[in-house]
């Protein structure tokens, strides 16, 4: 725990700015997810459902980490004894793995149309990733809540695997979306697919920046406290990606009118 002037802004090695920032990101993601499910009620298509579930699980991952930051920051118990952020981070990994699954289902439903034969390997790998996380959550709940649980070789493997699966899943979204954009002559669908393609780029960039955050913390002494600029950039790209994905797929009337006016 820090003392002096920083006491009001840092507690249990968590900056209050990170608490507020993650909360804002999580709430914006939640609003977009709700809007998408409202659209699903209007147009009950599989693509709507799969994209909605992708957004939902990604939002739940963001909410999990935000809740962990809030509880950890205001907890009277030292993070070294009770590290809530370790638990909520593990839970967020499960939601991100599920989000990767539904991202692949979305790709198949809108672009590939091969069904379970295409998606099953992705489901299997992400299921194995979740299988590695669950024992760690069990250990935290029933055995040891001390800080450092997620700093193990197993969890490093989990993080790397989730990042690779996200790169593949969202890479497919980017590839097929840009491909469809090139094939479309009409301005509206062309812009829509391009926005979806940008969505597919932004989510993997989140993992790139989080990796940069980890490297700075590990190798640059001035960032040893954590929460480097890369941490905030990672969440910014995640938020930008979700917004672009929503706008590209839903294409709300105000966006269509704006595009038509520009045209």
Q: Is the pLDDT of residue 114 over 80?
A: yes
Q: How far apart, in whole angstroms, are the C-alpha atoms of residue 153 and residue 209? A: 21
Q: How far apart, in whole angstroms, are the C-alpha atoms of residue 37 and residue 1? A: 42
Q: Predicted confidence band at 82 (pLDDT cuts at 50, 70, 90)?
A: confident
Asked whether 50 and 106 are in contact (CB, 8 A), the reply is: yes
pLDDT of residue 112: 92
Percent of the chain with pLDDT over 90: 70
- Across the range 163-190, mean pLDDT stands at 95
Q: Give the CATH class of 4-262.
A: mainly alpha
Q: How far apart, in whole angstroms, are the C-alpha atoms of residue 247 and residue 139? A: 41
pLDDT of residue 238: 95
- Across the range 47-67, mean pLDDT stands at 96
Question: 119: Cβ–Cβ under 8 A, 6 or more apart, which residues?
Answer: 101, 104, 105, 108
pLDDT of residue 1: 41
Rg (CA), the chain: 20
- Across the range 221-233, mean pLDDT stands at 85
Percent of the chain with pLDDT over 70: 96
Residues recorded for the chain: 263
Higher pLDDT, 223 or 230: 230
Residues 180-195: pLDDT tens digits? 999 998 999 999 999 9
Mean pLDDT, the chain, rounded, equals 90
pLDDT of residue 5: 46
pLDDT of residue 51: 96
Q: Predicted confidence band at 222 (pLDDT cuts at 50, 70, 90)?
A: confident
* Lowest mean pLDDT segment, chosen from 104-108, 156-160, 199-203, 233-237: 156-160
Between the alpha carbon of residue 140 and those of residues 3, 63, 78, 128, 197, the distances in Å are: 29, 19, 16, 19, 38
Q: Is the pLDDT of residue 69 over 60?
A: yes
Q: Is the pLDDT of residue 129 over 80?
A: yes
pLDDT of residue 252: 93
pLDDT of residue 188: 93
Q: How far apart, in whole angstroms, are the C-alpha atoms of residue 79 and residue 39? A: 42
- Residue keyed to tokens 């499960």: 94
């Amino acid at each position: 725990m820090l003392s002096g002037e920083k006491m009001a802004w840092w507690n249990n090695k968590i900056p209050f700015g990170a608490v507020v920032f993650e909360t804002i990101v999580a709430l914006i993601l939640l609003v977009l997810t709700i809007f998408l499910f409202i659209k699903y009620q209007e147009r009950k298509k599989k693509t709507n459902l799969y994209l909605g579930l992708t957004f939902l699980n990604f939002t739940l991952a963001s909410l999990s980490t935000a809740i962990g930051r809030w509880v950890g920051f205001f907890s009277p118990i030292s993070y070294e004894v009770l590290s809530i952020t370790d638990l909520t981070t593990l839970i967020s990994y499960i939601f991100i793995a599920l989000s990767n699954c539904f991202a692949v289902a979305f790709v198949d439903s809108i672009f590939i149309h091969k069904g379970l034969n295409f998606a099953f390997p992705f489901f299997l790998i992400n299921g194995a990733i979740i299988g590695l996380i669950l024992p760690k959550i069990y250990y935290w709940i029933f055995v040891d809540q001390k800080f450092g649980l997620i700093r193990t070789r197993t969890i490093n493997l989990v993080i790397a695997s989730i990042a690779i699966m996200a790169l593949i899943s969202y890479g497919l979204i980017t590839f097929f979306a840009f491909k469809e954009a090139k094939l479309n002559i009409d301005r509206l669908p062309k812009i829509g697919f391009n926005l979806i393609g940008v969505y597919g780029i932004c989510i993997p960039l989140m993992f790139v920046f989080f990796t940069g955050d980890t490297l700075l913390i590990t190798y640059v002494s001035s960032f040893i406290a954590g929460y480097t600029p890369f941490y905030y950039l990672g969440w910014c790209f995640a938020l930008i990606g979700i917004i672009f994905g929503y706008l590209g797929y839903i294409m709300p009337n105000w966006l269509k009118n704006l595009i038509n006016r520009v045209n």
